[in-house]
Amino acid sequence: MNRRSQRRWLAAGGLVLLLAAVAVAWRIAAIAGEIRAQSMEGVERPSDVIVVLGAAEYRGRPSPVLEARLNHALFLYHQGLAPRILTTGGAGGDPTFTEAEVGRAYLSRRGIPSEAIISETQGSSTVESTVAAAEIMQRLDLKSCIVVSDGYHIYRVKKMLESRGIDVYGSPRPSEVREDWRQQWLYVRQAIAYGLWRIGIPL
């Protein structure tokens, strides 16, 4: 192959890579748009269980983010939308407490019967907690759930649970709506994480 042919092949290969990069960027932007839309408004329906995604805890006390998620789950529970709450989240480096156990204790102190609270205490990531929550639901023959988390988190968790045959509704915790670059980056980051999960690279 002469140099001219080599240059043509290199140019063609570069064009293919460029088009592929554009297609990937377009797809990420489209998914980020869907994530943003679902982060703004909940779609709650009567379900078998409310699934609360874990967040940081501080020596047995929920962080402000986790507390807000738990309070929203309490609100949905008292609205009669589900008879059970499933808390999720492992130790996260804490040798004594897990996020799920802290969530369970918080709900119990606020009058939720112990038999109405289920805990998943092993997950160290969104993927692990979602898989474990789905397995618990399937074992207990729970076929539908309302997912409670931060708005930007809802889309990906819904997709993961839906992939296991569960009917899923999203209900983001109340929070201040921001439209700055940090918030936009959260949408993009979740879109990338979702795309990686689709091809078997969990985050």
Digit-coded pLDDT (tens) for 66-107: 999 999 999 999 999 999 999 999 987 767 899 999 999 999
Integer Cα distance of 157 and 168 in angstroms: 9
Higher pLDDT pick, 33 / 146 = 146
**Which candidate, 116, 115, 90, places its Cα nearest to that of 101?**
90
Q: What is the mean pLDDT of the chain?
A: 87
pLDDT at position 121: 92
CATH for the stretch 39-198? 3.40.50.620
Q: Using alpha carbons only, give the angle 13, 15, 17 rounded to the nearest 5 degrees.
A: 70
- Euclidean distance between CA atoms 146 and 170, whole angstroms: 6
pLDDT at 18 over 70: no
pLDDT at 193: 86
**14: number of CA atoms within 13 Å, CB side?**
6
User: Taking CA 120 as the corner, what is the angle to CA 114 and CA 124, rounded to the nearest 5 degrees?
Assistant: 145
pLDDT band for position 186 (cuts 50, 70, 90) = confident
Residue with tokens 């897990």, as numbered in its chain = 98
Mean pLDDT of 5-14: 63
pLDDT at 155: 92
Both tokens assigned to 127: 């993927």
pLDDT digit string (tens) for 71-81? 999 999 999 99
Q: Where are the domains of the chain?
A: 39-198
Per-residue pLDDT band for 143 (boundaries 50, 70, 90) equals very high
